[in-house]
């Protein structure tokens, strides 16, 4: 793989309005879609709250949270809109705030439903268990996690971009390589590169926000045609739009009175609403 030519198309908003929409007069919480979030842990409870807030700020009919009781209490105390417990979902976000976990631990946390055909955004400690998700998948590694995934699956030597391409094909997944210029790669080699993001995003918790936004956008895609499972092309587009919304929210959250300021991930999650408002007005 080393030395192969790699190229990526610049990510743009073109075609994005079809992925998010305002609710219509006949919509209800179920027609808008339900996002299941299997996130957070006793070690990292804040990841659950950041992701849930981001998903709600992006716009879904319902967020259904599954996690340790202590974390669920924290989520409900701050976001009473959330429903705790298992039930039907349109899409999943799994893994944000997970330490390394074994397959059985993950299996116990997943909803007790048939996951076939349900798209999943798989983050952090859950990515190593891609095989537990029979539906279409988005993986969201940063470069350190990408190296661990490459080692686990014996990927050939190559640049991070080439490794992302190999993993996308090998795992039949859309791979979102997070960084200053986030890269989205799909099976077959389609690649989109985002413009440089605000460098204030280099702080713990911002990836949890991105996972929540991405899950909500995937829900919008999946609920638009509930009889059709989203394909990798649709998930690629959803990942690009989510990353662009995340970047726009970062621009909002990292400016105070017109000047740059350190970014708080909790403010970033809240700023997603303003970013989505700008998106819908395009």
The partner residues of 36 in beta bridges, in order of sequence, read 64, 92
Whether pLDDT at 179 is above 80: yes
What per-residue confidence (pLDDT) applies to 13?
65
What per-residue confidence (pLDDT) applies to 101?
77
Residue 81 tokens, joined: 């809109």
pTM value? 0.94
Does residue 9 sit in helix, strand or coil? strand
Domain ranges of the chain: 26-280
Residue from 61, 95, 86 nearest 219 by CA: 61
Residue from 257, 263, 261, 273 nearest 212 by CA: 273
Q: What pLDDT, in 10s, does the model give residues 20-69?
A: 888 989 999 999 999 999 999 999 999 999 999 999 999 999 999 999 99
Residue 279 tokens, joined: 């998106």
Q: What pLDDT, in 10s, does the model give residues 125-134?
A: 999 999 999 9
Q: What pLDDT, in 10s, does the model give residues 201-256?
A: 999 999 999 999 999 999 999 998 988 999 999 999 999 999 999 999 999 999 98
Residues 274-277: contacts with CB within 8 Å, 24+ apart?
A: 274/249, 275/245, 275/246, 275/248, 275/249, 276/20, 276/57, 276/58, 276/59, 276/245
Whether pLDDT at 147 is above 80: yes
CATH superfamily label, 26-280: Ribokinase (3.40.1190.20)
């Amino acid at each position: 793989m080393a030395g192969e030519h790699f190229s990526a198309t610049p990510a743009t908003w073109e075609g994005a309005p079809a992925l998010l929409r305002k609710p219509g007069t006949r919509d209800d919480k179920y027609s808008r879609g339900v996002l299941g979030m299997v996130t957070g842990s006793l070690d990292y409870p804040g990841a659950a709250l950041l992701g849930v807030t981001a998903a709600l700020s992006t716009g879904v009919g319902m967020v259904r949270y599954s996690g340790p009781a202590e974390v669920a209490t924290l989520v409900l105390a701050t976001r009473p809109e959330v429903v705790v417990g298992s039930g039907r979902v349109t899409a999943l976000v799994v893994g944000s705030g997970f330490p390394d976990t074994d397959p059985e631990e993950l299996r116990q946390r997943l909803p007790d439903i048939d996951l076939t055909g349900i798209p999943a955004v798989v983050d952090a400690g859950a990515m190593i268990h891609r095989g537990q998700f029979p539906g279409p998948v988005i993986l969201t590694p940063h470069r350190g996690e990408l190296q661990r995934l490459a080692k686990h699956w014996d990927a050939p030597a190559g640049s991070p971009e080439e490794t992302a391409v190999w993993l996308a094909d090998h795992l039949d997944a859309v791979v979102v390589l997070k960084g200053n210029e986030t890269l989205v790669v799909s099976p077959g080699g389609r690649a989109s590169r985002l413009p440089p993001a605000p460098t204030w995003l280099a702080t713990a918790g911002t990836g949890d926000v991105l996972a929540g936004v991405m899950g909500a956008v995937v829900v919008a895609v999946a609920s638009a045609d509930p009889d059709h499972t989203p394909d990798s092309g649709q998930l690629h587009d959803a990942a690009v739009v989510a990353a662009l919304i995340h970047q726009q929210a970062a621009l909002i959250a990292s400016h105070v009175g017109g000047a740059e300021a350190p970014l708080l991930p909790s403010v970033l999650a809240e700023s997603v609403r303003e970013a989505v408002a700008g998106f819908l007005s395009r």
